[in-house]
Amino acid sequence: QIISDESRRLSRLVRRMLDISQIQSQEMKKEDFDLCESMRLALLSMEQKITDRELDVEADIPEEPVMVEGVNDLITQVIYNLLENATKFARKGSALYLGVTTLNGKALISVRNEGDTIPAEEIPLLFERFHKSDKSRSEDKDGVGLGLYVVKTILDQHKEHIAVTSENGLTTFTFSVTLAGGQTAQ
């Protein structure tokens, strides 16, 4: 059983490394797409995990499209990875938030959960390859420490930014995506 589990873990690790290599070598063919639709799809794909953790979801996603520039599949992957992490580390039975606002030509997407506060000294390390906090190592047997590294790699390719705050049991990841040509902040 141990050998089988370790083989599966190594297989996941190799797949993630290949994904990262492909992202880094990919020529960016940006297009305009509806960010709200990508957010809804990522949220729907997380439905079972959210239900298993008995989380309440607060989705602040407008009905009307928020058009942005980028690679739709990659930005959807960023949203999915952040939701997956937020779900995994949320206190069971708490709330999970996914929302978007616009400001100064950017869409700002936030993912927030209620759970343990991330120590300030650990926040800069979150996006490093293979980084896993001591707590997650013992609880998360499936993770390989690459989800947030993938997020950072994709956002770097898009020349976008991500910020993290974690205080009083609320952790929020917020990243930017450039609004499609001509849209202004609301």
**Is-contact 147 126, C-beta < 8 A?**
no
Concatenating the DSSP letter of every residue in 47-82 gives: HHHHHHTT-EEEEE--SS--EEEE-HHHHHHHHHHH
* Residue 125 CA to its chain's centroid (Å): 16
Question: Which of 85, 91, 176, 167 has the alpha carbon at shortest distance from 133?
Answer: 85
The residue count of the chain comes to 186
One digit per residue, pLDDT tens: the chain, 186 residues?
Answer: 777 766 766 665 566 665 666 665 566 678 999 999 999 999 999 999 999 999 999 999 999 999 999 988 889 989 999 999 999 999 999 999 999 999 999 999 999 999 998 888 888 888 776 555 545 433 444 554 677 888 898 898 889 999 999 999 999 999 999 999 855 544
Q: Which amino acid is at 77?
A: Q
Half-sphere exposure of 85 (CA within 13 A, CB side): 27
How far apart are alpha carbons 24 and 28 in whole angstroms? 10
